Amino acid sequence: MIRKTVLFLAACSIALAMPVLASAQGKASTLDTTQAKAFVGDWVLTVEGRRGPQERPLAITDVGGKVAAELGGGRGGPVTITDISVVGADLVLKWTQEGQQGSIPVVMTLTLKDGALVVKQDMAGGQFTSAGTGKKKG
């Protein structure tokens, strides 16, 4: 049991460092920008990782009236995220990371609080969770 847990955590850590792919095709989501206007902008996320806090840039933009997102900072270049929704007051981003152990689904929930973001990231259906914050650039 412990070995399986250690192997799973190692796979998650490797997956974070491997190239990531968006789970849907295209640049923008189907979410209207008007529903997520407060989230639009360039952000720097600081998320607790296995090796301590990791900074990743997140750009949330308007593409033809629809929300688009691009998460940088990982190996393999930025990730285009097109599965974007609003749940209550939160913005939810979903994508799949590809690593040596296969595909790992990721759900990142962003909550606005005092002009900053509270970040919660669930991997592999909640088997591995990390938290952090986000600050708007500029």
Domain ranges (residues) in the chain? 2-136
Through-space distance between the first and last CA atoms of the chain, rounded to whole angstroms: 47
As a whole number, the mean pLDDT across the chain is 83
pLDDT of residue 23: 33
The model carries a pTM of: 0.78
Please give the Cα distance from 16 to 2 (Å, whole number).
21
Give domain 2-136's CATH architecture.
Answer: Beta Barrel (2.40)
pLDDT of residue 2: 56
pLDDT of residue 94: 97
Ranges of the chain whose pLDDT falls below 70: 1-26, 75-76
pLDDT of residue 19: 37
Say if residues 73 and 57 touch (Cβ distance below 8 Å): yes
